Every structure is written in structure tokens, then in C-alpha cells.
């Protein structure tokens, strides 16, 4: 028990240093601490394989690692790290339907809070992964499914618990960024009609969710108008 507590404390230390590096413009240092954190968490998982808290820590570590690798421009690796986070969060939330969480069951309040947190973290990873897949030139269909799933989760959460309403906007912005990137990829591939169709659809959603004056809406409108001038 004492040895696992020491491992956890060391892993927490490297997490804090990793976050500090990322927030202070030093992603290389952040990645080094992420490496050490994952090594320690692997030892914890081996020592106590049935302990969900270690799996939860590992999922969070992979999520943060994806952000670090993205900042370093190592997008393909960031995609794989985000997939690692999603795999682990999905394992933790195996008995929840991510698109439409069913939390109104006979659980203790603490268990319901824990399941809600895991479900929302899963949606966060889905949104980040959708953006990274689009940035890496990956599957448009996969990015779309992930983004829609993340939005469905937060839409449910915002209705059930209004405190999450502001988080829904944050998730939508990530999903909108992914879809804007995909539209730009169609334009770069000389599929002008495909780009226009995707921006047209996205603009309607941006106006509905963010309003006409939001920077994301303005950016999408500008891209659409420029593409239409080329048609």
C-alpha cells in the first residue's frame, strides 16, 4: 500500500509539472513529464489492476498528452494519444450510453456523480479526437461521428444540469473547428462544391449555437463567402 501511494504521489507530481509546462509555453518539458507519469501509472496498473482510479488517471494522462503533442506539431501522435484516452474512458463508462447517458438508475449520489464525470470526460476526448483527426487529414466520417457524439452528450447534460450549458459551447467550438478544417481540405483538393456545402451547413449551426457575431461564426462565414466567389 505504501509503495503504491508513493507511485501515485510521483505520478501526481509529474502531472502537475506537465500541466505547468504546457500552460507556460514549454511543451517539450511537458512531454518529458508526461512520459514519466505514464511509466508510473503503468506500474500502478500492474500492481493494482482492478483499481479504476489508476485507469482514470491514465485516461487523463493520455488526454493531456494529446494536447502536448498537438502543440509540438506531432499531430499523428496526438491522434494516437487521444485514442488511448478514449479507449480508457470508454472502458470506465462501459455501462453508459455515451450519446444519451442513462444516469437515472438506482445508484448512490456519489456513483452517479462519478459516472456523470466519466461520461463528460469521454465526450471531451471525442471532441478533441475529432479535431485532431481532421487536422491530421484522417477520416471525415469518423471525425463527424465523434463530434456528433460529444455534442449529444453535452446537450443532454446541459438540459439535465444547466451548469454545463457553457461547456456545450466549448465542445461545439472544437467540433466546428474540425468541420471547418475538413471543408478547407475539400477546397485544397479542388472540391469547391464539397467545401461550400460543408461551410454552408456549418454556418447555419454556428449562427444557431453561437450567434452571428461570434468569431467562429465570422470565420466560417468569411470562408464560405470566399469559396462562393470562386464558384
Domains assigned to the chain:
1-92 (1.25.40), 104-231 (no CATH)
> What pLDDT is attached to residue 132?
98
pLDDT at 95: 44
- Please state, in angstroms and rounded to a whole number, the distance separating the CA atoms of residues 223 and 200: 10
The whole-angstrom separation of Cα 118 and Cα 64 is 15
- With 60 as the cut, is the pLDDT of residue 180 above it? yes
The answer, yes or no, to whether residue 82 has pLDDT greater than 90, is yes
Mean pLDDT computed over 58-75: 96
Grid coordinates in use for 94? 462501459
- Whose cell is 481540405? That residue is 185
Q: Which pLDDT band holds residue 106 (cuts at 50, 70, 90)?
A: very low
pLDDT(215) > 90:
yes
- Cβ neighbourhood burial of 193 (10 Å; 0-12, 13-18, 19+): exposed
| CA distance from start to end of the chain | 67
Comparing 92 with 108, the larger pLDDT belongs to: 92
Residue/partner pairs of 68-73 with CB below 8 Å, 24 or more apart: 68/18, 68/21, 68/22, 68/27, 68/30, 68/31, 68/34, 69/31, 70/132, 70/135, 71/22, 71/27, 71/30, 72/27, 72/28, 72/31
Rounded distance, CA 157 to CA 182, Å? 27
pTM reported for the whole predicted model:
0.89
43 Cβ contact partners less than 8 Å away, ≥ 6 residues apart: 7
Spatial separation of the C-alpha atoms in residues 16 and 43, rounded to whole Å: 19
33/27 Cα distance (integer angstroms): 10
- pLDDT > 70? residue 97: no
pLDDT at 164: 86
Contacts of 75 by beta carbon, 8 Å cutoff, 6+ apart: 69, 132, 135, 136
Q: With cut-offs at 50, 70 and 90, classify the pLDDT of residue 93.
A: confident
Q: What whole-number distance in Å separates Cα of residue 202 and Cα of residue 47?
A: 48
pLDDT above 50 for 149: yes
The residue-averaged pLDDT of 205-230 equals: 97
Amino acid at each position: 500500500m505504501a509503495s503504491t501511494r508513493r507511485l501515485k504521489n510521483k505520478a501526481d507530481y509529474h502531472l502537475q509539472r506537465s500541466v505547468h509546462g504546457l500552460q507556460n509555453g514549454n511543451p517539450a518539458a511537458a512531454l518529458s513529464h508526461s512520459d514519466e507519469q505514464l511509466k508510473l501509472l503503468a506500474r500502478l496498473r500492474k500492481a493494482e489492476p482492478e483499481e479504476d482510479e489508476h485507469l482514470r488517471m491514465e485516461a487523463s494522462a493520455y488526454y493531456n498528452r494529446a494536447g502536448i503533442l498537438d502543440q509540438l506539431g506531432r499531430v499523428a501522435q496526438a491522434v494516437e494519444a487521444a485514442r488511448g484516452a478514449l479507449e480508457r474512458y470508454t472502458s470506465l463508462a462501459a455501462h453508459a450510453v455515451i450519446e444519451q447517458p442513462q444516469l437515472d438508475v438506482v445508484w448512490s449520489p456519489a456513483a452517479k456523480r462519478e459516472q456523470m464525470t466519466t461520461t463528460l470526460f469521454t465526450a471531451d476526448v471525442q471532441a478533441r479526437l475529432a479535431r485532431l483527426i481532421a487536422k491530421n487529414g484522417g477520416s471525415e466520417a469518423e471525425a463527424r461521428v465523434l463530434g456528433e457524439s460529444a455534442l449529444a452528450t453535452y446537450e443532454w447534460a446541459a438540459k439535465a444540469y444547466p451548469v454545463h450549458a457553457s461547456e456545450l459551447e466549448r465542445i461545439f467550438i472544437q467540433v466546428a473547428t474540425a468541420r471547418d478544417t475538413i471543408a478547407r481540405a475539400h477546397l485544397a483538393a479542388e472540391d469547391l462544391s464539397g467545401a461550400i456545402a460543408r461551410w454552408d451547413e456549418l454556418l447555419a449551426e454556428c449562427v444557431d449555437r453561437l450567434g452571428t457575431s461570434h468569431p467562429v461564426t465570422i470565420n466560417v462565414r468569411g470562408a464560405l463567402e470566399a469559396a462562393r466567389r470562386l464558384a
